């Protein structure tokens, strides 16, 4: 392993670590059904208050193996939750509704509004437009990292209404809180790095992130061309992906229910507001060429930042890409699966932590998605200590640069074709004479 990577690696969990007993079948829905973290946890189908998702029965019928079950002893997960809960009780602090988070929200939204107003109404030269476009792109990404992301996971506030409105800031900047709920909170968080289940690791023929994915000849250069394509992430959402997903009722290979009622109204109204802000209003004051240029800069800055933060957490050398041990079943507990497939980076950088909404602590986020991200650095010490004690993985790259390097090496590795096994050559062995 590269020196830059800090990782607690051990052999698979033995009976001396997790007591041997008959494994119970469980999945993320069961793991989040009890009251923990100071508020009742619900299934991933309801992790986003921005969406009034229909029950599972309302989803179009799919194969029996559509939902995976995670098997194994969840002793570690129960003990880890107890320790984290004790940390908050001992220090007398709340997991959500924190003044620091509200102040941070005000700063980010003020930056977004100020840079937009200056860009549309006051920028007089190309370099002013370029600078303000970059700032606006960063502020857009920060809305996603900090405000919408916490609210979508119900980690922003104890109040459902506040979570709902804060989650809808994604619609304001061109995304869809409805689709985010299914793609991220449901498919990604439940089935991290499992091909055909986690839509976040599927770019079709454009890229190969997992060993199970088909290799194409052009993947040999993906460690070069993907960096530019990451910049088109937001543009693709704005102009194509969201509309395709709603029309086809699918995300990747997974089927979803089409939004109805209020969910559909939020989707449509969000798109109208976004296209008005991105194109309609600026075209009153500027040429179409200038509007398209600065929109592209804003969207590419935001898209690149959003894509990179995800890639450094999951598409790196330290993360695993497991497959079901049998149809519909994983042979590891859910919490252990999160630890094996998720990697932190830049844990010692307060600036990085502030800018990316604590998503450099992806391990803690995946284990405790309903805790506000401002607490991740503190509970990381609790999580890492428990991992060391129980002998389970805890992966972290020391810096942003180390994470980038690991992602580059992983792309290059996945770009190489799988070695073809040598053909079996029959060997004639003489039969001894009797």
Residue 431 lies in a domain: no
Residue pLDDT, tens place only, 198-213: 989 999 899 999 999 9
Q: Which tens digit of pLDDT belongs to each residue from 370-421?
A: 999 999 999 999 999 999 999 999 999 999 999 999 999 999 999 998 765 5
pLDDT one-digit tens code per residue, 299-321? 999 999 999 999 999 999 999 99
Residue-level pLDDT at 27: 37
Give a yes or no: residue 349 inside a domain. yes
Residue 419 CA: distances (Å) to CA of 354, 407, 416: 43, 21, 9
Domain count, the chain: 1
Q: How confident is the model at residue 432 (pLDDT cuts 50, 70, 90)?
A: low
Exposure letters 343-370 (e unless 16+ CB within 10 A, then b): bbbbbeeeebbbbbbbbbbbbbbbbbbb
Which residues contact residue 306 at a Cβ distance below 8 angstroms, ignoring those fewer than 6 apart?
Answer: 141, 144, 145, 233, 234
Instruction: Judge contact between 156 and 147, C-beta under 8 A.
Output: yes
Question: What is the extent of the structural domain holding 144?
Answer: 5-414
- Whether 424 maps to a domain, the answer reads no
**Does residue 429 fall inside a structural domain?**
no
CB atoms within 10 A of CB 36: 17
* Position 57 in a domain: yes
Residue 426 lies in a domain: no
Q: Residue 434 domain-assigned?
A: no
Domain assignment present for residue 425? The answer is: no
What is the model's pTM?
0.82
């Amino acid at each position: 392993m590269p020196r830059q990577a800090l990782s607690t690696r051990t052999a698979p969990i033995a009976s001396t670590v997790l007591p041997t007993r008959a494994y119970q079948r469980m999945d993320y829905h069961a793991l989040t059904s009890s009251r923990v973290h100071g508020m009742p946890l619900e299934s991933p189908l309801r992790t986003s208050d921005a969406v009034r998702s229909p029950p599972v029965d309302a989803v179009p019928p799919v194969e029996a193996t559509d939902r995976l079950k995670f098997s194994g002893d969840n002793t570690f997960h129960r003990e880890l939750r107890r320790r984290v809960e004790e940390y908050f009780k001992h220090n007398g602090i709340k997991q959500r509704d924190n003044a620091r988070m509200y102040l941070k929200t005000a700063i980010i939204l003020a930056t977004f509004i100020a840079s937009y107003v200056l860009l549309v109404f006051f920028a007089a030269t190309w370099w002013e437009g370029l600078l303000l476009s970059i700032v606006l792109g960063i502020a857009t990404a920060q809305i996603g990292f900090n405000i919408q992301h916490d609210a979508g996971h119900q980690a922003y506030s104890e109040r459902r209404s506040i979570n709902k409105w804060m989650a809808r800031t994604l619609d304001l900047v061109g995304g869809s809180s409805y689709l985010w709920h299914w793609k991220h909170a449901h498919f990604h968080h439940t089935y991290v790095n499992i091909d055909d289940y986690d839509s976040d690791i599927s770019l079709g023929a454009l890229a190969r992130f997992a060993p199970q994915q088909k290799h194409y000849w052009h993947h040999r250069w993906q460690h070069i061309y993907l960096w530019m394509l990451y910049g088109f992430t937001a543009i693709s959402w704005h102009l194509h992906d969201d509309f395709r997903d709603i029309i086809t009722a699918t995300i990747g290979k997974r089927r979803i229910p089409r939004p109805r009622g209020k969910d559909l109204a939020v989707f449509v109204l969000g798109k109208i507001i976004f296209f008005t802000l991105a194109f309609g209003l600026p075209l009153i004051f500027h040429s179409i060429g200038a509007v398209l240029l600065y929109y592209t800069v804003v969207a590419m800055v935001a898209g690149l930042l959003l894509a990179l933060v995800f890639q450094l957490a999951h598409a790196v050398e330290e993360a695993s890409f497991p497959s079901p041990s049998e149809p519909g079943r994983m042979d590891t507990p859910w919490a252990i699966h999160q630890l094996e497939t998720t990697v932190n980076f830049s844990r010692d950088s307060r600036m990085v932590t502030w800018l990316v909404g604590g998503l450099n602590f992806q391990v803690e986020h995946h284990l405790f998605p309903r805790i506000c991200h401002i607490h991740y650095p503190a509970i990381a010490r609790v999580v890492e200590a428990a991992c060391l004690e129980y002998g389970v993985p805890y992966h972290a790259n020391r810096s942003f640069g180390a994470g980038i390097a690991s992602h580059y090496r992983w792309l290059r590795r996945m770009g190489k074709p799988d070695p073809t096994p040598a053909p079996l050559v029959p060997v004639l062995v003489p039969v001894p004479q009797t």
